[in-house]
Structures are given as structure tokens and as C-alpha cells.
Structure 1
Amino acid sequence: MVNTLVLREKSKQLISLIVKVHQSLKEERDLSPRNNRVNQLLTLFVDQVADVYSREEIIYILQHHAIKSIQSELYQLLGQAETEMEFYYGAAYANRDPLKWDDLKQFIYWKNYVELSCTELQELQRCGWNTSKIAFVGAGPLPLSSFLFQQQTGAPVTCIDLHTEACDISRTLIGKLGQQSHIEVENIAGEEVDYSGYSLVFIASLVPNKQEILKQIHCTNPGAIVAIRTVEGLKQLLYCPVDEKKLIEEGYQIIGRTIANKNIINTTLFLKAKMTSDL
């Protein structure tokens, strides 16, 4: 009985924090790192969500009426905060002259990106990926994953993003780091790209129209491996999780996945289109 009460109290404390985060983000006009209140609140929130919880606690929190009533709007606010953070740091690095690789290591989530990319690469090797051209859809103004994968594999990379300003900042970073012969940027919607030249396509967590992009990949290059970053457990409070059933309905099979931990928020699913003989 004591353990049950302790678990329930821990869950209630997190629920109270989530409600506070939601209300605070709604009240703030500036969700960028310039706002120290937002920085402190989001750091605490992410740390708490990344903690270890039992299956019973996770279900209790995710299904609680106070969370379900705000979850959709919370996703929007958190997405806005993450986007503003990437633009803030992307622009700051773009203004450095000179810009060095070691400068990127000052980014607050640098170690998380490094650990995630290493874990993804290990799983890709297990899936039999042949190191060749990579596309990152939703690369944004601070394409750290693109930089890391290019450095780790030597493969040419294309950063794809619909946002013109994000592409401009990204190109500046790539140029200042001397990576323009290895990494290019395309200012285009992910569902309009011809993926025929890519062996691997990453789709970022915040990309909203994943289903349309999957259809385009299936149409233009069904042999490509697709990597989709999603979330599991309480980390579903941070991002909207990918519906794995819909992936199967789109004609894909899951050939691998990474495992998240306290330092890695995302779980990455690796997909491949089912061939006619597999259907």
C-alpha cells in the first residue's frame, strides 16, 4: 500500500508540473532561449519526463483528464519553443566568424544528439544499411544530426526544409564549417522531393505531414530505409508519437528501432517498404 501511495504521489507531482508548464507557456510571448523563465521551466520539465517511471505511473499520467485536456495544445507550444530554440542557436552560430566544429559542442543538447546519432548508426548497421546518400526532412536551421551523420559516415547529406529562413541559416552554417561539398540544402516540401537518389531518409519529430512524405518515398524510392523519430512512454508528453499501425497501413514494415534512455528522448523507427511478395 505504501508503494502504491508513493507512486501515485510522484505521478500527481508530475501532473501538476505539466499543467504549470502548459499554463506558463501560454502566458509567455517569447518562447526562445532569451526567456530565462521558459528555459528553467522546460529544463525541469524535460528532466522530470526523462526520469524512470513504472508502467502503471505512465498510464496513469498519460490518461489523466488534466493531461488529455491540454495535450494537443501543449504539443503546439513545445514545438514552437523547440523551433525558436533552433532558430536562436542557429542564428547565433551563423554570426560567429570564424565558426569552428568545437563551437557546436557548446549547444545545450549536443551530447544528446551525439548519443542519439551513434545509437541510430549502430541500429542502421544491424539493418544492413549501405553507407550512401542521406536525406534529412525537417532539418531546420540547426542541422546537427546532418552534421553528425556526415562526419560519422562520410556519406553526402541533403538537408530538406520548407522554411526559407531555416534553409538560409543552415547554408550559412554549412559554408562556415567548410561542409558545402558534403552537405547541401533544399528549400522544398518533403512530400515534393524525388527520393530516388537516397538510401536513407530521416523524418524529424516535428515534421507534421509524415504520412504524405512516406507516400512520396514509397512512390519514388521504395527501396530506401526510412528513419522516423518518435517517442515512447512519458516522452509522449513532449512529442506526438508516431502511430505504428498507420505505418504498416502505408505499406511499410519496421525493420529496427533504437531504445531511448534518460539522455535520449527519441526512439527511432527504421522502416522499409514491403515488396509485393511480402504483402
Structure 2
Amino acid sequence: MASLQSFNFESQIPAELLIARIMQIHASISKLDSLRPSEQVNSLLSHLVKLCTLPSSIDISGLPQEVQEMRDSLINLCGHAEGLLELEFATFMIKTPQPLNNLNLFPYYGNYVELANLEYRIRNENGVVQPKKVAFVGSGPLPLTSFIMTTHHMILTHFDNFDIDEASNDVARQIVVSDAELEKRMKFETSDIMKVKEKLSEYDCIFLAALVGLNKEEKLKILDHLMKYMKKGGVLLVRSANGARAFLYPVVEEHDLLGFELLSIFHPTNDVINSVVLVRKPAF
């Protein structure tokens, strides 16, 4: 059987081989007693990410039912593992004197920086330069995007971070409290975004994290809810996935964004996992 090293970014891994490898990893992850960070968990997930970022022409929509079910399960497992990794790191960080100076110690920090730079450029190109007030939906215990955006790209913007889990918000607040200036511009709200209504009209820009709405039905309900309540003329940045990266995160396609005006869709081909979809709610 061909090894991973046989494939580089100039050749494509055959879909059959890719699926077989991913199913093997899914089987291994499913047998684990815990998804907390460990040598075994980290190794399996790193291998999975490398596989999913190899060039391939795989069409997720055409996969057999068995593979679709495995993909749904894998997205849930990876999302859970990602949350545990962030929580462990954030809990470690709040014990350090200046946690915001140590963000770069997070294993995937470089990917977040690349993604934030990409999202900033895409918004800039579409006239969304310095929004006054931004919401990040699904911020988690370690809201790296919010931290990077507020300190590097949106130095005057107020950020409201929404997460359904109070424990995650509590840890995130403890990181922010270390910086008096940032604390003034960043708040955390524990809410199911489907229950947040009128408040959504306050934001010039809303970020929707990739793992908010793990299946298509949930994602469509959330998008419809945001469309209904967000500000007219406001922009929504949706994180999606394309090709083999869709084994890691849910996919949002153009036809899922009913009522919105499509501004940009970008699918990365480097180490960045998430696709970036930028849409606007019509002003009239």
C-alpha cells in the first residue's frame, strides 16, 4: 500500500485510498477511552489532518451512506477532542502571569494566525474594514480568533463572544482579565445562539465558527436564524470546509445561504483547514 509520503502537494491521493485511511483512523479514535490530549490522541488527529489536507478530487456529496455516517461521527469526535485540547491549554494558561503573551504555545496557533489573516484580507477586499461591534458565535474556552483579531486587525472593535458552555466562557474570561485594555473591548455571553434575537441586530459583522451546527439541519436553522435577526447590511463570515477537509468540519454551500448576498468564497490549499464564506444581509 502506498505511504503518505508518496503523495505531495503536486499529486492527488486517490479517493478510495483516502477514505480507507480515514476510516482506519476513525475506528482507532472511536475505541479510545478518552479524547483528552495525549500522545495517542494527538498522533491520530495529526495524522488525520495531514490526510485531509492532501490534494484530492474527492466529492463529499457523492459518498456512500456508510462513509457519510462515519464522516458525521468523525466530525463530532474531532470537535469534542478540539474542545478538550483548548480547555486544557486555556486552563494551563490562566495559571501563567501574562497568558495573552503565551498564545503562541498552543499547538495550532500558527493555523489560527493564518486563518485570521485570510479572513481579515477577505473582509477588507469587500469593504468590511473596521466594524465597530463584532460577534463571534462558538468562541470556546480559548477564543484565539477573537484574541488575534482584536490585537492585530481590529484594534478598536468591540467583540462579544457567544458560547453555549458557561465553563468555557469562565476560562476565557480569566485569560482576558489579565489585559485591562482588552477586557474593555471583549465580553463573553453564555447563550444558545438560537435564543439570541434582537441583540444580533447590534453587530456589523458576525463570525460563525465551523463547529456551531454539526449537521446540515442544525447549520441551516442557525443560518436562517442569523438571517432573520442580524442587522440589515451586516456581514456574516461562515467557516466551512471543502474536499477532504469536510471529514473534519461541516460544509456550508452557497445554496445553504438563502436570502444572503454572496460576497466571497475561498477554499485554502495550504495548512489552513477552514474555507471562508463571506455574505451580507441585504440592506433593503
Same fold at TM > 0.5: yes
C-alpha distance after superposition, 1:3-22 (max 9, x if no partner): xxx98975444323211211
| 1:216 CA displacement | 3.6
Report the CA distance shift for 1:272/1:39 in structure 2 as closer, same or farther (over 3 A): same
**TM score, norm. by length of structure 1:** 0.87
**Which string of whole-angstrom CA distances, capped at 9 and with x for unpartnered residues, describes residues 27-84 of structure 1?**
1121121x2111101101101211222x2xx139962566334122122211211121
Seen in structure 2, the aligned counterparts of structure 1 residues 214 and 62 have a Cα distance that, compared at 3 Å, is: closer
- Describe the shift of the 1:90–1:162 C-alpha distance in structure 2 as closer, same or farther (beyond 3 A): same
**Matching of residue 161 in structure 1 with residue 163 in structure 2:** yes
C-alpha change, 1:88 and 1:82, in structure 2 (3 Å) is: same
Match of 2:234 among 208, 214, 224: 224
Q: Identity across aligned pairs (percent)?
A: 25
Partner of 2:223: 214
Q: What does residue 114 of structure 1 align with?
A: 113
TM-score (norm 2): 0.85
Indicate the SS of the match to 1:51. coil
Separation in 2 of the partners of 1:31 and 1:202?
Answer: 27
The residue type equivalent to 1:237 in the other structure is F
Asked if the contact 1:157–1:183 (Cα under 8 Å) also holds between the matched residues in 2, the reply is yes
- The 8 Å contact of residues 13 and 54 in structure 2, kept in 1 or not, is answered as no
Q: Which string of whole-angstrom CA distances, capped at 9 and with x for unpartnered residues, describes residues 154-208 of structure 1?
A: 1111111111101101101111244211211111121233112211000000001
Matching residue of 2:261 = 253
Which amino acid in structure 2 is aligned with residue 43 of structure 1? S
Q: Is the 8 A contact 2:204 2:235 kept in 1?
A: yes
Pick aligned residue for 2:274 from 244, 266, 273: 266
Q: Which ranges in structure 2 are unaligned for 5 or more consecutive residues? A: 1-6
Q: Which amino acid aligns with 1:182?
A: R
Q: How many residue pairs align between the two structures?
A: 264
Q: Are the aligned partners of 1:18 and 1:67 in contact in 2 as well (CA < 8 Å)? A: no
Q: 1:97-136 counterparts in 2 under 5 A?
A: 98-131=97-130, 132-136=132-136
* SS, match of residue 115 in structure 1: helix
The yes-or-no answer on 1:203 pairing with 2:208 is yes
Task: Give the letter aligned to residue 211 of structure 2.
Answer: L
1:31 maps to which of 32, 35, 49: 35
Please say which of residues 107-116 and 69-78 is displaced more in the overlay: 69-78
3-state SS, counterpart of residue 239 of structure 1: coil
* Distance (whole Å) between structure 2 residues aligned to residue 231 and residue 129 of structure 1: 22
- Using the TM superposition, give the Cα deviation of residue 233 of structure 1 relative to its aligned residue in structure 2, in angstroms: 1.1
